[in-house]
Amino acid sequence: MAAEVGRRLPALCLALQATGAGAARPMALHELAAAIRTAYDPAAASAVEAPDASGIPWEDCGPVSADERIDSYAHDGAVSVSWTMTSGPRGPVPCTVLVPILSPHPDVARKRVTLLYRPYSPAQGARLVERDHRDAVFSANGSRIPRAVELAKLQAAAQAATEDARGAGLVRFGAIVTATVDTRRSGRDTDDALALAEAAVEGLATTSRLVLRRAWRCQATTFLAGLPLGILLPQHVAVPAEFKDLL
């Protein structure tokens, strides 16, 4: 697996540069450990990121203590709220659609936006594209005067079918957004600071045309899934992903 990942990394870095993300390179172990540590303990950022700082041991990256609540997650002197994307931008999507949610905001001390991608196999992609195109054609032809929404779906399904026939792949994507408030440096009551951060994130998501839903009763899991640890949530659900794909 290490050899396979090493073989794919150069192409992935070049692909990221082509998107406008700038120079991209894999994180070293000490950089990854520092990112995880500061995610759980924001107050440690100044010490961890100092030029003369020694590397953080991997076993010290996690929180000393944590408390998962119904709608938030308290960890090492900070409180976080996480959301998951339930619907992406509809209609034409310009390259700047995610700029609002990705940009810093004065009411959110720390904000993390994680994009998740899961490609379908070629056989699965072809089957799904064909099904969506068939359903769109049936919906558009089912009424005497098709609605604009139905015609738009038909056009999108036809375009997806054409691209699939030309060899393009089909990818599932999602997003996790986490806002963190440092209770020791917020300068105001924790509940007030958290309420401001929640309102800011929900407003930015609307501007970016994302539909977010708070991760009720699974804040700790969602927080962890948004970190660069390579956790694949479908492998940890009660119903295996292979069975869910067949439903």
pLDDT tens, residue by residue, 142-191: 777 777 778 888 888 888 888 888 888 888 889 999 999 998 765 568 88
Residue 41 domain-assigned (yes or no): no
Residue 90 domain-assigned (yes or no): yes
Considering the domain architecture, whether residues 176 and 106 belong to the same structural domain is answered as yes
Considering the domain architecture, whether residues 115 and 176 belong to the same structural domain is answered as yes
Considering the domain architecture, whether residues 110 and 184 belong to the same structural domain is answered as yes
DSSP for 126-189 reads HHHHHHHHHHHHHHHHTSSS--HHHHHHHHHHHHHHHHHHTT---EEEEEEEEEEEETTTSSS-
Q: What is the pLDDT of residue 36?
A: 93
Considering the domain architecture, whether residues 142 and 211 belong to the same structural domain is answered as no
Residue 188 domain-assigned (yes or no): yes
Residue 28 domain-assigned (yes or no): no
Considering the domain architecture, whether residues 104 and 137 belong to the same structural domain is answered as no
Q: What is the pLDDT of residue 22?
A: 80
Which pTM was predicted? 0.84
Q: For the chain, what is the domain count?
A: 2
**Which residue range forms the structural domain that includes residue 133?**
121-168
Considering the domain architecture, whether residues 107 and 184 belong to the same structural domain is answered as yes
Considering the domain architecture, whether residues 78 and 104 belong to the same structural domain is answered as yes
